Structure 1
């Protein structure tokens, strides 16, 4: 036997939970998590778990200060991200940082610095810089304008008045050139693509206002409007920053979830050495070790070992699947009782995950064709603004006014109609509503989803991990307490997913000394001369008892126990319903919405859950493409479908639905496809997002109607020559303040529903939506 096989045999024979502390230590490859600066200093970031208050910041930063070679440690409280910098030339010890944090009471995992959102971060920083420049310029130019007015412009000497105007120009022109770049670039991109976007009237209004102000100053006219142009940019940039903040609100949280799940794999190299490496570094042909309780990190073929796999996250099937040498395994499957050596088999782009992502991408492209409120408003608003300005110019020219006066009034129309209020109307509501949902245990991934949540009339639930909790529980009570306690102590020595349903009955007792795991079968122990076994029906010689238990509980799986000399016992185990599921389903039906279950699990399991919830419309054994087909069929009937799911097989359906929601325990690809994630053990967040969507859409429509009413009043006044560009800018600013104050009403969503945490009642969200018809 070669050295590699010897190492594998050793590890496979010592892979049980009870022997976790005796495993050979692995060399962890942290190179992928380090970055080096131009000054030679090495930097790493960590996602930290357990940070609760600002006091944790000082505890962590002081606790790491004495580590050798460490230059700085800074914790970002908002995203629980720790940045550590080592001195130039010092050895970067990530393991030492993790150990030190563990000693302080915090769990931490290295965070990969090669993140795909660098462009988004750069754009956010650019918008903030532009906002700062516009704010500084607006303040100073407005002060100068007030000084001119306070000094009574008619009483000032032309030289002093022109000096003030030129000082305004020196501040406003470069500030507008810098701060307006996001709008100028958007306008030119749209023109190159043959379309006129909302950025075009903004650009046109700013440029014409500045040009007119320069001409007025050169001609010695008493008025200039530099303050109107920079103030306009300032308010528009507030809207852009709010919109960007909405897009980034939960990104750091989702990234931390991925890091805290320690996405790594145990690589077996040619010499038989075990190394822990990031999953991203796995390539076809390499061998990895998958221990009991770990998820398979990539598609592959089993080379050594035998085990049961829980593929519920991948396929929705709750029953465990037995695998051994030569069997195919898929990324995301949870390994049960035996250690497996898997050879990675898929080339990049050919895995099950890639197939699912392909389906998801096509579904997202189809959904992206639907217009959101801002797009609809833009399509109406832009041509109307241009038409109003053009008619004003033509009307005054026809009335005999000169080019100067006619152009000044046209510019006033462009300014007064500039979409500051419209630009703030949607993102301001999105940001405030997202904060209210966060307090109710919902993390919004996409602000535009609020509009879609408001339109939902059909809710499709996945079963496994969505209507049910991902942790299994005993399907019935009344077992012999003595037998249950013995089985629970054996379960403490197993990492099989179903064994966790029994461990609570151990009542503080520890595992049996000397308990051994039989790969793929179960756990055995010799206690006071009596042989005890816990595991599969075959391992415990309990096939008849298992058959009877499954007949009584068709939605369950079984784990069997046998004490030598006694009759075997079969414990039916299933994923328990979320505590508030019946109340939430009833509240949805009471609101007039249709509820159905679309599951990949077997029919008997789905039928049992549907019966307990009173859901008559259910389907089982569905593949990812089947789920998409069902949702698309509903949408062709005019239904607006909310998909709620958590598995890898749910991701395409989440993307195809009108709106989607996932628990934070969902597969990463499902989290990426969902419009929102919810925390806790309850389903009340489903009610919360529907109520918040209706409330947000109502406020958005109020803001849009106010913007329209404001223009109906202001445009005729500007076109009639009754508003100067400065007064038009002040009116535009006032309208922006009004829509922002109205958006703050989205916070009045009520307290966080108890069921989104641990309790079993739907909470106030249920009461709010039960009578609300879609």
Structure 2
């Protein structure tokens, strides 16, 4: 057998093996990702590659909607996650969806956060390499082009000019072939699916320019246009790299929310036997054991046992909640110190954690469907460019010009209208504004949020950890300073936030030697034969003292201390307001914005904070669905809502709001859902993002208007044959430079706090009113 036959045999065998092994693997993948609700509706999530613009999103959703049995298809443009649902009576056909996506020119695979992260990293590296190649080629080709320009008006011989043209070709052709792949592939996928995307005019302009340059070099013409092609790719790749860099919010959301799930559960059967099962197999009515340190795998009711749980998913509070028989627990809650036997009330896929994920995903999908400025401009751009170039070619041919002259003018139109300025108009402002916000202590997660920050007329705050500092402080010490000192030294050995409120009272003293922390309860130490305890009321046997302290301070929390058989002490701790919270809220109200507080905390605690800030609209005791419902109700009224929150229970509301902001101390899921994060103890960054949004949007609009005006002037000149491709390339580069210089004006930030904000009286007798009953 010859080498060729052996190679063909190997290829055929490998193809057969791949086909045989890929299909079962695909089936296994989607067996995990395909879920079915109680009403029989099936749902699957796909990660789709090649989505570039709103047109791609609409093409996918319309194309899949025509498939038999499909109930709906929604694509989240931010993380390229496609959610497909089938009607209850229909069979979930994964293969039909994949085939339809392939016919539309898109590849898909099961949506998994880890895979998406790897794919994004690979795509970023690919774009950066392409940008580096285009930049290197642009510099060298431009140096040679400048020599030719100078030589054409001096004494350069035709032989030397032709040599310089061919050296440019040697550099430009392979560089353009490599650096332009992201655009060529997008254009090809669109054409294969019968669509014309934004990548098509780019590809057409680059290819025609290179072909024309080769033809001109072969004929010994005075001009070649290799520099225009590679410079076009360089500028466009800058915009694409910037866009890729800014898009990371929802990928992090998916990874962090997945971390809250328990993959397995300990099932207790009728005979009391324990066995581990996948959490996805749990059904309503099953009995499960939740050991200390484990996360609750499903919603349920406690049958036996008592423990302290971190249920911040529901309440937004970091303080542990004591649960006993008959109390409800929720999936994702972290069990503290005791074993719990729980009767499952919600099957896998129907827990509160699943509801939070679903609410958040739907909110992100809805937000991604809003067209931003660049999408609006892009929808108008493609047909206008094609029409202008085609009319130029047809017009000159009809006027009797030859193919060479007509094509040269048509290429000039394509080059002069190539969307460098349009491609940089928005990303350049986003990057400059992001740098300015960083200097103000704000980290921008999503560049498109700047446009939304500019439209805000209502600001909704969470209370705990947002209006207040994340760590509590000691409100008042007991009469016995000795007890406070002992409790503070014990607190130095604890990692609990409540203990951190006492630690400063240690005044430099060392922790007690041998102190041990009891998970979820507190910390203990034996000193001179006396046991010292600091922690929960139950741990210190101080229930009566704790109840009395809370009765006198309903907006506070307590941490208890006991020394041997002495009377226990309950320390009152509060979460202090952020230092500038009063001034910031006053500035927002002075600017005409509506301010509200939506919290999962107790009504008494929320009312106390609202009173101190002068906020007249507040609600307490809200669950994640309640919060997102309030946000959506405000938006139905026509309000543009900025949500500022930090808890896990705030994540869906952050995603549903028109724009969102979180402190850097927020939960990981809230950080990922927010458009921006702010550092430090101050609340002034709320004002900074609103000011930066207004300025950035104004500059974006200016850039787009300049791009439009440039095309209005340049296209008729190119179509009339007054611009050669060389002059068109220079004009295109000049327009990009103007747009970039205008974007640099976003570095100028207005002051965070409005003048006179501190003088606005909140009114000591202003009584905040509750705007809803909560839950």
> Relative to 1, partners in 2 of residues 1:736 and 1:308: Cα closer, same or farther, differing over 3 Å?
same
Label 1:246 to 1:318 Cα distance change in 2 as closer, same or farther (>3 A): closer
User: CA 1:623–1:565 in 2, change beyond 3 Å: closer, same or farther?
Assistant: closer
Checking the alignment, whether the CA contact within 8 Å between 2:699 and 2:743 is kept in structure 1 is yes
Partner residue in 1 for 2:391: 391
Cα displacement (A) at 1:576: 2.2
CA distance in 2, matches of 1:657, 1:411: 45
Aligned counterpart, 1:466: 466
Return closer, same or farther for 1:677/1:343 CA change in 2, 3 Å cut-off.
farther
1:123 pairs with 2:94: no
Structure 2 matches for 1:613-632, cutoff 5 A? 613-632=613-632
Cα distance between partner residues in 2 of 1:191 and 1:183: 12
Residue 317 (structure 1) shift: 4.5
Deviates more, 1:219-228 or 1:562-571: 562-571
Secondary structure, aligned partner of 2:576: strand
* Alignment match, 1:690: 690
1:81-96 to 2 correspondence within 5 Å?
none
Equivalent residues of 2:252, 2:669 under 8 A apart: no
Counterpart-to-counterpart distance in 1, 2:533 and 2:178: 74
- Aligned position for 2:409: 409
- Matched residue, 1:766: 753
1:455-487 Cα deviation digits (max 9, x unpaired): 111111111222222222233467543343344
Shift of 1:690: 1.5
User: How far is the alpha carbon of 1:303 from its aligned partner?
Assistant: 10
Residue aligning to 2:599: 599
Is contact 1:691–1:769 with CA below 8 Å preserved after alignment?
Answer: no
1:255-281 CA deviation, whole Å, 9 max, x = no partner?
A: 99999x99999999xxxxxxxxxxx99
What does the per-residue CA deviation read over 1:385-420, in whole Å, with 9 as the maximum and x for residues that have no partner? 223323333433444433332222222121111111
Q: Is the 8 A contact 2:296 2:334 kept in 1?
A: no
Within 5 Å, give how 1:17-28 maps onto structure 2. none
Q: For the structure 1 residues 226 and 297, does the alpha-carbon distance in structure 2 shift closer, same or farther, using more than 3 Å as the test? A: farther
Q: How does 1:46-445 map to 2 (within 5 A)?
A: 116-152=116-152, 161-247=161-247, 290=292, 296=295, 306-312=306-312, 314-317=314-317, 320-323=320-323, 329-330=329-330, 333=333, 338=337, 352-445=352-445
Instruction: Provide closer, same or farther for how the CA distance between residues 512 and 183 of structure 1 changes in structure 2, counting only shifts above 3 A.
Output: closer
Q: 1:159 to 1:608 in 2, by over 3 A?
A: same
Structure 1 residue 666 corresponds to structure 2 residue 666: yes
> Distance in 2 between the 1:244 and 1:517 partners?
45
Seen in structure 2, the aligned counterparts of structure 1 residues 221 and 281 have a Cα distance that, compared at 3 Å, is farther
Counterpart contact for 2:477–2:484, Cα < 8 Å? no
Structure 1 pair 331/435, CA: closer, same or farther in 2 (3 Å)? farther
Q: Deviations over 1:656-682 (max 9, x none)?
A: 111111122222222221111222222
Q: 1:685 to 1:266 in 2, by over 3 A?
A: farther
Are residues 490 and 120 of structure 1, via their aligned partners in 2, closer, same or farther at CA, if it must alter by over 3 Å?
Answer: closer
Is contact 1:243-1:431 (8 Å) kept? no
Q: Residues 537 and 158 (structure 1 numbering): CA distance in 2 closer, same or farther, change over 3 Å?
A: closer
Partner of residue 29, structure 2: none
Structure 2 Cα separation of the partners of residues 124 and 318 of structure 1: 37
User: SS at the partner of 1:688?
Assistant: helix
**What is the CA-CA distance between 1:655 and the residue it aligns to?**
0.9
Give 5+ residue unaligned stretches, structure 1.
1-112, 269-279, 751-763
- Alpha-carbon contact 1:288-1:344 (below 8 Å) kept: no
1:588 equivalent in structure 2: 588
2 CA distance for matches of 1:645 and 1:369? 23
Tell me the residue number matched to 1:18. Answer: none
The question of whether the paired residues in 2 share the 8 Å contact of 1:429 and 1:744 is answered with yes
Q: Indicate if the aligned counterparts of 1:300 and 1:342 stay in contact, CA closer than 8 A.
A: no
Q: What displacement does 1:769 show?
A: 11
Q: Secondary structure at the match of 1:429?
A: helix
Q: Is the Cα contact below 8 Å between 1:299 and 1:328 reproduced in 2?
A: no
Q: CA deviation at 1:423?
A: 1.0
Q: CA deviation at 1:318?
A: 6.4
**SS, match of residue 200 in structure 1:** helix
> How far off is 1:581 after superposition?
1.5
> Per the alignment, in what secondary structure is the counterpart of residue 233 of structure 1?
helix
Residue deviations 1:55-99 (CA, integer Å, cap 9, x gap):
xxxxxxxxxxxxxxxxxxxxxxxxxxxxxxxxxxxxxxxxxxxxx
In the alignment, is residue 747 of structure 1 matched against residue 747 of structure 2? Answer: yes
Q: Does the Cα contact within 8 Å between 2:152 and 2:222 map onto a contact in 1?
A: no
Cα distance change, pair 654–255 in 1 and its aligned pair in 2 (3 A): closer
Q: 1:156 to 1:527 in 2, by over 3 A?
A: closer
| Structure 1 position 488 matched with structure 2 position 475 | no
Cα distance in 2 between the residues matched to 1:344 and 1:692: 51
- 1:692-739 alpha-carbon deviations (Å, 9 max, x no partner): 222222222222222222223222222222110001101111111222
- Mark the CA change 1:190 to 1:642 in structure 2 (over 3 Å): closer, same or farther: farther
* Structure 2 CA distance for aligned equivalents of residues 664 and 256 of structure 1: 18
Q: Distance in 2 between matches of 1:494 and 1:361?
A: 37
- The structure-2 alpha-carbon separation of the partners of 1:495 and 1:165, relative to structure 1 and needing over 3 Å to count, comes to closer
Structure 2 match to 1:555:
555
SS in 2 for 1:239: helix
Displacement of 1:333 in angstroms is 4.5
The offset of 1:306, in angstroms, is: 4.2
**Preserved CA contact (<8 Å) 1:489 1:511:** yes
Task: Report the Cα offset of residue 214 of structure 1.
Answer: 3.2
Measure, in 2, the Cα distance between the counterparts of 1:769 and 1:373.
34
2:14 paired residue number: none
2:296/2:335 contact within 8 Å kept: no
Q: How does 1:1-16 map to 2 (within 5 A)?
A: none
Task: Return the alpha-carbon distance in structure 2 between the equivalents of residues 253 and 637 of structure 1.
Answer: 31
Q: Take 1:164 and 1:527, find their aligned partners in 2: how far apart are those partners? A: 88
- In the superposition, relative to structure 1, how do residues 445 and 347 fare at CA in structure 2: closer, same or farther (>3 Å)? farther
**Alpha carbons 2:260, 2:295 under 8 Å: kept:** no
Using a 3 Å threshold, how does the CA distance of structure 1 residues 326 and 512 change in structure 2: closer, same or farther? Answer: farther
User: CA contact under 8 A between 1:561 and 1:570: conserved in structure 2?
Assistant: yes
Q: How far apart are the structure 1 equivalents of 2:221 and 2:540?
A: 99
SS at match of 1:508: coil
Point out where structure 2 has 5 or more consecutive residues left out of the alignment.
Answer: 1-112, 267-277, 759-775
Structure 1 equivalent of residue 655 of structure 2: 655
Deviates more, 1:429-438 or 1:151-160: 151-160
Contact 2:451–2:693 (8 Å) recurs in 1: yes
Report Cα offsets for 1:90-129 as digits up to 9, x if no partner: xxxxxxxxxxxxxxxxxxxxxxx96742222222222222
Shift of 1:517: 7.3
TM-score (norm 1): 0.71
Residues of 1 paired with 2:210 and 2:514: CA distance?
84
Distance 2:718 2:426 in 1: 26
- Kept in 1, the 8 Å contact 2:304–2:342? The answer is no
Residue 102 of structure 2 corresponds to: none
SS of 2:646's partner is coil
Measure the CA separation in 2 of the matches of 1:161 and 1:538: 90
